Amino acid sequence: MKRALTWLVLLSAAGLLPAQPGAAPGSSAASQVAGKAAEFLATLSETQRAKVSFKFTDAAQRVRWSNLPTGAVPRAGLRLGDLSAAQHGAAMALLSTTLSKQGYEKVLAIMEGDEVLKNSSQQKGGQKNQPMFGHDEYYISFLGAPSVSEPWILQFGGHHLALNVTIAGQQGILTPSLTAAQPAVYERNGKTVRPLGAENDKGFALLHALDPAQLKQAILGYQIRDLVLGPGEDGKTIQPEGLKGSAMNAKQQAMLVDLASEWTGIIHDSAARARVAEVKANIADTWFAWSGSTENGKAAYFRIQGPTVVIEYSPQTLGGDPTMHIHSMYRDPTNDYGKKLVKR
């Protein structure tokens, strides 16, 4: 307890703790996130703080994320399953502050789906000695010290989830980040949960809003079976394909922005508004491409690509029902890991 109190005093002196409730209702998102990060760090031992903290320039940690289970691709940082109840609560409070309500609920649904996958695997007799799925198998780490002025990165992820949130002053960016789901549909408390359901339904809705000539442009003449710019593809570029935004009417353009918001809207609201504004400003130069079935309920890949955004949605075709195993990717080729926000 004494160690934790000492850490709190140091953080308070550095200006990283949030104001007392009601003291600063207009405090910025950056200060709120930094404050929650400080609260989380204050719950940790010195050994844990050393384990969760990396230099901002640590290139190896920066790219240590994947869609694969942690047993296949080891992560670094602190594992949720190794935290106490108080530490776990502080970690999730940080995540909920960093993300929008929509984004946080999506993350929880992805994690809950992984718990469903773990239970299903155990029932089938697998993963007895080395759990690879479930709530416990997610990791949190920091690149750079949480700050309201200096750039830093919050990483959170595990199987089918990889969030890289760069915060630099009042600006924030969530790229590159991977959101995925397996199973893509499951039952919880008597309700059907679809972690990436809105992405799927809005994608098909936009496709069905196109006229025959537009469809001919949007639908690619070949099959895409996985992410093109997924893990390990940092810095790779691809040529835009499909239907260009300038060839859409106003309603279709609005639907394209709304579809993109399922990814750009994961981060907290003030940063999300900036990302939406970017997509809108570049809508004429943003492309929509489609590969696969045009019938909702069947597997189809689609991509949104503009000057500051590349989004992919890709059912997985290797084994089982591809509509029950979805990968998606969100990148900004000009600003992954906040490279535009950071003065080199």
Are 276 and 181 in contact, with CB atoms under 8 Å apart?
A: no
> Which letter does DSSP use for residue 20 in this model?
P
- Give the burial class of 240: count Cβ atoms within 10 A of its Cβ; 0-12 exposed, 13-18 middle, 19 or more buried: middle
Indicate the pairing of strand 53-54 with strand 138-143.
parallel
Residue 8 has pLDDT above 70, yes or no: no
Residue 343 has pLDDT above 70, yes or no: no
Q: Where are the domains of the chain?
A: 2-169, 197-222+231-338
Are 56 and 144 in contact, with CB atoms under 8 Å apart?
A: yes
The percent of residues above 70 in pLDDT, for the chain, comes to 88
From residue 129, give the alpha-carbon distance in Å to each of 115, 122, 125, 126, 179.
16, 10, 11, 9, 27
Distance CA 307, CA 283 (A): 9
Q: What is the pLDDT of residue 319?
A: 67
Residue 79 has pLDDT above 80, yes or no: yes
Q: What is the pLDDT of residue 23?
A: 29
Q: What is the pLDDT of residue 143?
A: 98
**C-alpha 343 chain-centroid distance:** 24
Take residue 258 and report the two structure tokens written for it.
Answer: 């709304």
Q: What is the pLDDT of residue 342?
A: 85
From residue 72, give the alpha-carbon distance in Å to each of 37, 68, 232, 263, 334.
28, 6, 15, 26, 30
Average confidence score pLDDT of the chain: 89
- Give the burial class of 108: count Cβ atoms within 10 A of its Cβ; 0-12 exposed, 13-18 middle, 19 or more buried: middle
Q: Which residues lie across from 165 on neighbouring strands?
A: 154
From residue 107, give the alpha-carbon distance in Å to each of 131, 160, 161.
20, 10, 8
Residue 225: which pLDDT band, with cuts at 50, 70 and 90? confident
Q: What is the pLDDT of residue 15?
A: 34
Are 294 and 219 in contact, with CB atoms under 8 Å apart?
A: yes
Residue 192 has pLDDT above 80, yes or no: yes
The percent of residues above 90 in pLDDT, for the chain, comes to 82
From residue 114, give the alpha-carbon distance in Å to each of 32, 229, 298.
29, 23, 22
pTM: 0.89
Residue 83 has pLDDT above 60, yes or no: yes
Are 256 and 288 in contact, with CB atoms under 8 Å apart?
A: yes
Which is more confident, 106 or 23? 106
Peptide bond into 74 cis (omega under 30): no
- Each residue's pLDDT tens digit, 118-147: 988 776 655 554 568 999 999 999 999 999
Angle among Cα 319, 161, 99 to the nearest 5 degrees reads 145
Distance CA 147, CA 6 (A): 19
From residue 58, give the alpha-carbon distance in Å to each of 55, 143, 222.
5, 7, 39
Which is more confident, 229 or 7? 229
The type of residue at 64 is R
- Give the burial class of 228: count Cβ atoms within 10 A of its Cβ; 0-12 exposed, 13-18 middle, 19 or more buried: middle
Residues 165, 166, 168, 169, Cα dihedral to 10° = 0
